[in-house]
């Protein structure tokens, strides 16, 4: 694994012109399909159970986890955006608890509005060398599940997800005004699907226009950023347009050779950040699967080590901003 690639401050420059930006980025990544690490919980180490609680912000289900000494001791507010497994995943809830143990009030919303990703874990077989018919059945089942995941992903559009996040952010500002004030803003951590929306919330994005304005007399619409700083791991469906809009500091924990976040998009993001003087950090993790950074057990010691490193990378970034 390489050391973090930390950007240096660069002067404003118009010399770099980003390449054409379109939905082609998202379509290409969707074509890679989301694997089981994006839509299936990993084994739970030591049977750890969540310590937070389910609640609601209006009609949005949320999981809330708080430091043990809150509100007697101040804490920052962290918005945690999940992979396809969603808000009811034990892995995701424990991940929120781990951030809470480090001094954050964690709000994890149901960004899928009750529609988490279908389980795409391959069907197990008892046969070491299944016959041709069994092989066909297994392949057909895997293909069907992959199709279901792709259909689900097509439903999860920014037009659907962003209004949910904006509603959660506005409610959090009221319900946990002390935590927002202590951090001088809202922080965000995103995994997989949630990584893209961490990027969007860190940027000036047209989809925010009109959503944040309460009335015509409210003044100019603030298009973003809506977070102070963000941390993301193995993001999916991030486009050049998303990266071009970024204004808040971001750290990226990326998987080497990840078709869900292609190297060419990440490399162009580096150029965009440098040209716009955006503080950022990028670390590439090799020999790990997409989804490795989410809480959950792996047989490989090297993957478990990388998981811990990615959490520390994200935590230190959030704590230092």
Q: Which two tokens stand for residue 45?
A: 């180490």
Q: Is 136 a member of any domain?
A: no
Answer whether 62's CB lies under 8 Å from 56's CB: yes
Cα–Cα distance for residue pair 275/96, rounded to 1 Å: 34
Q: Is 141 a member of any domain?
A: no
Average pLDDT, whole number, for the chain?
81
Half-sphere exposure of 308 toward its Cβ, with a 13 Å CA cutoff? 7
- pLDDT for 8 equals 32
Confidence of residue 9 (pLDDT cuts 50, 70, 90): very low
* pLDDT higher than threshold 60 for residue 88: yes
Q: Is 144 a member of any domain?
A: no
Confidence of residue 234 (pLDDT cuts 50, 70, 90): very high
Q: Which two tokens stand for residue 315?
A: 């935590």
> By three-state DSSP, how is residue 266 classified?
helix
pLDDT in tens, 272-315: 999 999 999 999 999 999 999 999 999 999 999 999 999 999 99
pTM listed for this prediction = 0.80
Cα–Cα distance for residue pair 112/152, rounded to 1 Å: 10
pLDDT in tens, 142-174: 544 555 666 777 787 888 899 999 999 999 999
> By three-state DSSP, how is residue 240 classified?
helix
- pLDDT for 41 equals 84
pLDDT in tens, 98-151: 999 999 999 999 999 888 877 644 434 444 555 666 555 445 445 445 556 667
DSSP result, 121-190: PPPP-S-SS--HHHHHHHHHHHHHHHHHHHHHHHH--HHHHHHHHHHHHHHHHHHTHHHHHHHTSEEEEE
> Domain range for residue 52?
5-122+157-319
Domain count, the chain: 1
Q: Is 128 a member of any domain?
A: no
Q: What is the CATH number of the domain that holds 70?
A: 3.40.50.1820
Q: At what angle do helices 132-155 and 24-31 cross, to 10 degrees?
A: 150
* pLDDT higher than threshold 70 for residue 211: no
Q: Is 147 a member of any domain?
A: no
Q: Is 130 a member of any domain?
A: no
Q: Is 166 a member of any domain?
A: yes
Phi-psi group of 112: left, alpha or beta (phi > 0 → left; psi -120 to 50 → alpha; rest → beta):
alpha
């Amino acid at each position: 694994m390489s050391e973090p690639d930390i950007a240096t401050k660069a002067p404003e420059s118009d010399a770099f012109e980003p390449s054409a930006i379109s939905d082609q980025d998202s379509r290409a990544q969707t074509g890679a399909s989301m694997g089981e690490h994006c839509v299936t919980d990993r084994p739970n180490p030591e049977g750890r159970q969540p310590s937070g609680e389910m609640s609601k912000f209006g009609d949005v289900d949320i999981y809330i986890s708080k430091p043990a000494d809150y509100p007697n001791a101040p804490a920052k507010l962290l918005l945690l955006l999940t992979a396809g497994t969603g808000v009811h995943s034990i892995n995701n809830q424990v991940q929120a608890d781990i951030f809470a143990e480090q001094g954050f009030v964690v709000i994890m919303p149901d960004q899928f509005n009750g529609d988490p990703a279908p389980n795409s874990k391959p069907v197990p077989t008892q046969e070491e060398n299944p016959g041709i018919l069994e092989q066909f059945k297994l392949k057909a089942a895997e293909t069907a599940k992959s199709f279901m995941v792709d259909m689900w992903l097509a439903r999860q559009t920014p037009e659907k997800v962003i209004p949910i996040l904006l509603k959660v952010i506005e409610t959090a500002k009221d319900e946990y005004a002390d935590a927002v004030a202590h951090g001088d803003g809202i922080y965000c951590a995103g995994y997989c699907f949630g990584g893209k929306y961490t990027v969007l919330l860190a940027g000036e994005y047209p989809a925010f226009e009109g959503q944040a304005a309460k009335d015509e007399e409210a003044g100019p619409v603030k298009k973003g950023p809506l977070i102070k700083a963000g941390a993301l791991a193995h993001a999916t469906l991030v486009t050049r347009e998303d990266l071009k809009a970024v204004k808040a500091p971001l750290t990226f924990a990326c998987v080497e050779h990840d078709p869900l976040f292609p190297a060419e998009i990440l490399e162009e993001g580096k150029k965009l950040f440098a040209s716009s003087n955006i503080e950022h950090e990028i670390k590439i993790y090799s020999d790990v699967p997409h989804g490795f950074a989410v809480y959950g057990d792996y047989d490989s010691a090297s993957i478990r080590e990388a998981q811990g490193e990615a959490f520390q990378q994200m935590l230190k970034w959030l704590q230092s901003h």
